[in-house]
């Protein structure tokens, strides 16, 4: 560029911005000021995204009580495994049931299958029964 192009005659004025087909003026805006009330709590940062999820996960891991979602269409009972069958099937007796009641045929749930939880004869388990067939169920938890 030569000196002719750098002269003040060819530069835009400080408060005018040149657009595609028209000229529009800019307005300078001062940054907002934050006024904190006298009895306000100190400002804390909120976590978002991954960090928030991790913080919630750590809170969940530190809890000792098992919290489950409540299902309205299942019957949950406690029982004992009396026989192990092929294909992850078990015969279980229900605690507090009469001796004349036949044992329940139960399979293991997806989470127990996924994490390879070992279920042996004699283990106390939680069984979900379907209201449609009370002789079959799903093992959802093995008591330690």
Q: What is the mean pLDDT of each run of 10 residues along the chain (144 residues)?
A: 54 55 58 63 64 72 70 89 96 94 94 92 95 93 89
Task: Give the pLDDT score at 22.
Answer: 52
Structural tokens at position 79: 């029982």
Q: Which residues contact 119 (CB under 8 A, 6 or more apart)?
A: 81, 84, 90, 108, 112, 125, 139, 142
Structural tokens at position 46: 């909120």
User: Which DSSP letter does residue 20 get?
Assistant: S
Neighbours of 113 (CB within 10 A): 12
Q: Note the pTM of the prediction, 2 decimals.
A: 0.54
What is the CATH T-level fold of the domain 75-142, as seen in this structure? OB fold (Dihydrolipoamide Acetyltransferase, E2P) (2.40.50)
Task: Give the pLDDT score at 144.
Answer: 76
Task: Give the pLDDT score at 129.
Answer: 94
**How far is Cα 71 from Cα 92, in angstroms, rounded to an integer?**
22
Task: Give the pLDDT score at 30.
Answer: 66
């Amino acid at each position: 560029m030569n000196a002719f192009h750098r002269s003040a005659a060819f530069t835009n004025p400080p408060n005018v911005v040149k657009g595609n087909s028209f000229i529009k003026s800019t307005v300078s805006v001062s940054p907002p000021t934050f006024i904190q009330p006298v009895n306000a709590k100190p400002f804390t940062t909120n976590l978002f995204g991954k960090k928030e999820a991790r913080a919630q996960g750590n809170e969940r891991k530190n809890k000792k009580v098992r919290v489950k979602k409540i299902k309205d269409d299942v019957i949950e009972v406690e029982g004992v495994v009396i026989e192990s069958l092929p294909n992850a099937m078990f015969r279980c007796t229900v605690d507090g049931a009469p001796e004349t009641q036949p044992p329940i045929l139960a399979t293991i749930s997806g989470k127990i299958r996924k994490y390879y939880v070992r279920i042996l004869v004699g283990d106390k388990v939680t069984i979900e029964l379907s209201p449609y067939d009370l002789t079959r169920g799903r093992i959802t938890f093995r008591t330690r």
